[in-house]
Amino acid sequence: MYKFIHLISALIRQFALPNPYINIIGNEVYADLFNIFIGGTILHFCAYILTGCGYTRGVDDPASGSFGYLISYCYVTALITALGYFISNITVFIIVFIVLYTVSCILVGYGN
């Protein structure tokens, strides 16, 4: 089951989700380059940490961890996209993102 969920998760992340940095950067080419070289790593680490707040390796089923990572990745992508749409100042954007992300980690960890 894990391999199937992992495959579906990779396909969704690669082909179904938008580039969340397009609203912040403005230029599609630069946003794509940022996503390829830097942004993908940011998304991965944020989703991985958020998943780890609610998933315990070795205790929980690996398939639930893979699904949790997909949900976390989608959430972080949606959060960056929405904030980029509403906030144009990069400093304010980063501060609001860090606050909302921290609250999200606390809530996910609290539910565990």
Helix 40-54 × helix 90-111 angle, to 10°: 30
* Sequence-separated (6 or more) residues with CB below 8 Å from residue 92: none
**Structural domain containing residue 14:** 2-111
Measured between alpha carbons, how far apart are the two ends of the chain, in Å?
23
Total count of domains within the chain: 1
For the chain, the average pLDDT equals 93
90-103 mean pLDDT:
97
How far apart CA 91 and CA 68 sit, in angstroms, is: 29
Q: What is the pLDDT of residue 51?
A: 95
A 10 A CB-CB count for 71 gives: 16
99-106 mean pLDDT:
97
Tens of pLDDT, residue by residue over 7-59, are 999 999 999 999 999 999 989 999 999 999 999 999 999 999 999 999 888 77
By residue count, the chain amounts to 112
pTM exceeds 0.75 for this model: yes
